[in-house]
Amino acid sequence: MKITVFIFSVLLLFAGCTFDYGESVSSGEEMPDLIMQNVDYVRVRSSDPIARVRADRVERYDKQGVMILENFIFEQYGESTEEINASGRAGYASVDIDSGDISMDRRVRIEVETEDIIIETEKLDWKDDEKIIFTGKEDEVNILQDKGTSFTGIGLRADARMREWEFFGAVGGAFVHEDKEEEPVIEEEVEEHTENE
């Protein structure tokens, strides 16, 4: 979950970009203060790229303190720029510039290579102060791993600090656990349950 925190902090740094073009012709609150198209933003440390965000369109609204990204993808690099530790995409994201909270929707997918996990859902929110990701209590979430884990749950809440995951509704599928000492693969069926049971 540390990678997840990094991914969202990259989006926040991107949200911090400002451009001053002087007085705007229109002072309407609905007009964005900045519009960028076909954006390719690379974060660099010691001349090495460490993260990349691409978006079809970015709009920044200073009065509302919001930045909107459309059709964006992000990547976090490992020790070499050819190694991607984490990546993801969404059709839409809204970033609260002051709080750091981020709402993503339209086919959200986050893939964390170092933890061998893929999260797929329609909408995902990030609360920056609490370091929590969550969906709506009725939203379907798919969790996948290369080793064979594949299950679906309803209503995800995950604490990045505590590394705790919970679902609010039914969960079903297969969870594959590898015992590193004996190396057998154990496949367990995840039983469906609800929070009220």
Which CATH number fits the domain that encloses residue 120? 2.60.450.10
Total domains, the chain: 1
* Per-residue pLDDT at 113: 83
Stretches where the chain sits below pLDDT 50 are 1-3, 6, 18-28, 184-186, 194, 196-197
Residues 6+ apart with CB under 8 A from 68: 32, 57, 58, 59, 60, 61, 92, 93, 94, 95
The Cα–Cα gap between 36 and 56 comes to: 8
The pLDDT tens digits for 30-54 are 799 999 999 988 878 888 888 888 9
* Per-residue pLDDT at 7: 54
* Per-residue pLDDT at 137: 93
* Per-residue pLDDT at 10: 52
Residues 6+ apart with CB under 8 A from 8: 100, 102, 126, 128
103 inside domain? yes
Q: How far is CA 177 from CA 50, 90, 112, in A?
A: 31, 29, 18
Q: Are strands 164-167 and 66-77 parallel, antiparallel or unpaired?
A: unpaired
Q: Are strands 66-77 and 48-61 parallel, antiparallel or unpaired?
A: antiparallel
Range of the domain at 65: 2-190
196 inside domain? no
197 inside domain? no
* Per-residue pLDDT at 47: 81
177 inside domain? yes
195 inside domain? no
